[in-house]
Amino acid sequence: MRLIIVSLLTLICLTSMANGATIVRVDIKGEINQGTAILVNSAFKKAEEVGADAILIVIDTPGGLLSATKEIVSNILNSDIPVITYVYPSGAFSASAGSFVLIAGHVAAMANGTSVGAATPFVAGFPPKVENKTVNYIASYAKSIAEMRHRPADIVERFVTEGLSLSAEEAYEKGVVDVLADSPHQLFEKLNGRIVTVKGKKLKLDFSTVEVVKVRKPLQSNIYEILSNPMVAFVLLILGIYCLIFGLMTPGFGMEVFGAICLILALFGFGAIGINTFAVILILLGILLLVLELLTPTFGVLGIASIICMTLGCIMLFKEPLMPREFYRDFVMFVGGVSLGTATIMTFVIVKVAQLKRMKKKVGGEAMIGEVGEVIEFKDGKGLVKVRGEIWKCKSEEELEKGDEVVVVGREGLTLFVRKRTEH
C-alpha cells in the first residue's frame, strides 16, 4: 500500500512538472546598442539550450541604435519559441526603437502607468532635425512589423510620422498590445491557456506553473555596450587621431601606440553605429590640413581650418535616427565642446612641438649653415675663418684670400665648408 501511495505522489509531481513552463527572461533597460543585441541573442540561445516554452523580453528604453534594433526585431520575428514583449514596471516606457521591439512580440504586454510610441527619427543638429526620406523608411519598417503581427499598422505608422505616444490603456484599447498586467506573475496568469501563432503553428501557452530563468549580461555584451555608445566612440576617435599624430612626431613616449589602440577601439564601436559619409570626409580633411600645417607652416591658417573641419565632422558624424531626441541635443553640445577644445589644444601642442623640432635641428652644425664669415688666412684649399666671433678651420673649392667674405655651406666636425659670398 505504501508503495502505491509513493508511486501516486511521484506521478502527481511529474504531472505537475510536465504542466509547468520554463520562461527565459531578458531585460532591455536604457539605450539599445550592440551590447543589447548581444544580450538578447544570448537569451535566445539560452532558451534553446533549456528547451524554454517562451522568452520574456522586459522593456524600459528611450530608443537606440537602428542596426541593433533591427537585429533584436529579426530574432523575435524569426523565433521558433513564443516571445512575450512586456513594458514593465510602472513608469517605464518603450519609446522610439523600443516600440518596434514591443510590437514584434508574439504577445505584446504593458503594465499600467507605462507608455509606447514617439518613434519619429531625428538627425544631429541644433535643434535636432527630421529627414523625410528617413521618416518614410522607418515608417514602412514599423508598418511591416505591425502587419506581420496583425497589429493596427496605421497607429504604429503614426508613432513614426507624427511622434504619437500612447499610454498602456490607450495601446490596449487600440489593439497595439494584447495584455495589460501590473506584474510578471499577473502577466503569466492572464496568458495561461492563450493560443499564439508561431511560424504558422498554433500553440497553447501553459503557464499554470512557471520557472523563470533570467539571463545575465555576458562580458561581450558589456564591452560592446561601452564601445558602441556614440559618445564613447567619439572620444576614442578624437583621442586616437591626435595621439597618433603627436606620437609619430615625438616617438619614444608611446603616444602613437595609445593613439592606435584608441582608433582601433573607435572603429570597433563604429561598426555598430550609423555613420555620415560627409562627416568622415570632413574629419579626414581636418587631419590632412593639420599635416600640411606641420609640413608647410602657414602661421596657423591651416591649423585653424583643421580645427573647424574636425569639429564640424565630429558633430555630424553619427546618423542614428532612433536615438532619443534628447540625445541629439546633448550629443551636439558635448561633441562640439569636446572636439573644439581638444582640437584647439592638440593642434596648438602639435604645431609647437613641430616648431621646436625644427629649432633643435639647427643646434650645432646646421646652425652654422648660411652664416657669413671673414677669411683670416687661406692656402691650398684650406685655412681659417671667423664666424660669429669664433675662429674655425675652413675648406673651399674656390681660391680665397684674407679678408674675403664667405658663406658657410656645410660642416664636418670642427671644419666648415665655405664659398665666397656673392654681392647682391
Query: Any idea which residues carry the catalytic annotation?
Result: 96, 129
Distance CA 1, CA 4 (A): 5
- Closest Cα partner for 327 from 114, 140, 66? 66
Give the three-class secondary structure for 114: coil
Residue labelled with grid coordinates 540561445 = 45
360-398: string of b/e by CB count within 10 Å (b at 16+)? eeeeeeeebeeeebebeebeeeebbbebeeeebebebee
Residue 107 CA to residue 175 CA, distance in Å, equals 11
Q: Which three cell numbers stand for residue 374?
A: 671673414
Q: How far apart are CA 228 and CA 130, in angstroms?
A: 23
Rounded to whole angstroms, the Cα distance separating 220 from 217 reads: 8
Give, for 362, the enclosing helix (H) or strand (E). Answer: none
φ, ψ of residue 172 to 5 degrees: the values are -70, -45
Helix 132-148 with 66-77: angle, nearest 10 deg:
20
Grid coordinates representing 181 are: 498586467
Could you tell me the end-to-end alpha-carbon distance of the chain, in angstroms, rounded to an integer? 129
All three cell numbers of 133: 526620406
- CA-wise closest residue to 95 among 159, 139, 150, 27: 159
Written as nine digits, the cell of 216 is 545575465
| Angstrom distance (rounded) from CA 66 to CA 261 | 26
> Residue 180, CB half-sphere, CA atoms under 13 Å: how many?
15
